[in-house]
Amino acid sequence: MVTVVSHPLVQHKLSLMRDTQTGVKEFRELASEVSLLLAYEAMRDLEIGPVRLSTPLETAEFPMLSGKKLALVAILRAGLIMTDAIVTLVPAAKVGHIGLYRDPQTLKPVAYYNKLPADIAERRVFLTDPMLATGGSASAAIQFLKDAGAQSIKLMSILAAPEGVAVIEKEHPDVEIVVAAIDRELNDHGYIVPGLGDAGDRIYGTK
């Protein structure tokens, strides 16, 4: 299942991210803000239960998070900007990292690092990567999470290509995808068009 977060704030900020006039500082800020707005939607089905507490006026039951604990997992390096933002909303979440880069020739993901919470099987996992292009990186990361025992995974991306969405739907039909937009297509170099360019390079100012 794919959820496109069509909220005007998300769409406005995403358009600013696409603009070549947007510099590193603003791009980072926008990526963080969009990530928070995506998390608001992606975490809509978190369980809540009643907790008894006292306001200054009376004691009563109020809703608080009560379900499984959370894990945020970033696909390095661009996914870091998303987990860094989202962890401010859910500070008790544990954070994992999966290091993958996409070989520019083959477009296949190459793994170079990973570190996950030991109890990943007991947590709801929110996997972050701003770009879902061919889907190779996200699919490999999801498989890695499943091999480590993860049972509940949502993929959060800022921008997707139809090809990447199709790959995840085929290879991991149990994983819900939450995105700000699905663009037209991939170009011959595996870039999303119209897209926003190379997310990692725009976040970190590299080229």
Binding mask 54-83 for ligand PRP (x = CB under 6 A): ---------------------xxxx-----
Q: Does 136 bind ligand URA (CB under 6 A)?
A: no
**Rule CB under 6 A: is residue 204 a binding residue for ligand URA?**
no
Asked if 96 is part of the footprint of ligand PRP (rule: CB under 6 A), the reply reads: no
- The stretch among 5-13, 20-28, 43-51, 102-110 that binds ligand PRP (CB under 6 A) is 102-110
Burial 71-100 (b: 16+ CB within 10 A, else e): bbbbbbbbbbbbbbbbbeebeebbbbbbbb
Question: Which three-class secondary structure state does DSSP give residue 102?
Answer: strand
Structure tokens at 150: 């993860």
Q: Are 42 and 98 in contact, with CB atoms under 8 Å apart?
A: no
CB-neighbour burial class of residue 147 (10 A; exposed 0-12, middle 13-18, buried 19+): exposed
> Given the complex with ligand PRP, which of 47 and 185 has the nearer CB atom?
185
Q: Identify the bridge partners of residue 100 per DSSP, sorted by sequence position.
A: 111
Residue 188 falls in the annotated catalytic set:
no
Q: Which one of the spans 36-44, 66-74, 90-98, 132-140 is the region binding ligand PRP (CB under 6 A)?
A: 132-140
Q: Minimal distance in Å, beta carbon 193 to ligand URA?
A: 8
Instruction: State whether residue 74 is helix, strand or coil.
Output: strand
Asked about 19 being catalytic, the answer comes back as no
**Of 109, 132, 141, which Cα lies nearest the Cα of 180?**
132
Residues assigned a catalytic role: 102, 106, 198, 201
Binding site for ligand URA (CB under 6 A): 131, 133, 190-192, 195, 198-200
Binding site for ligand PRP (CB under 6 A): 75-78, 101-102, 107, 109, 129-138, 164, 190, 198-200
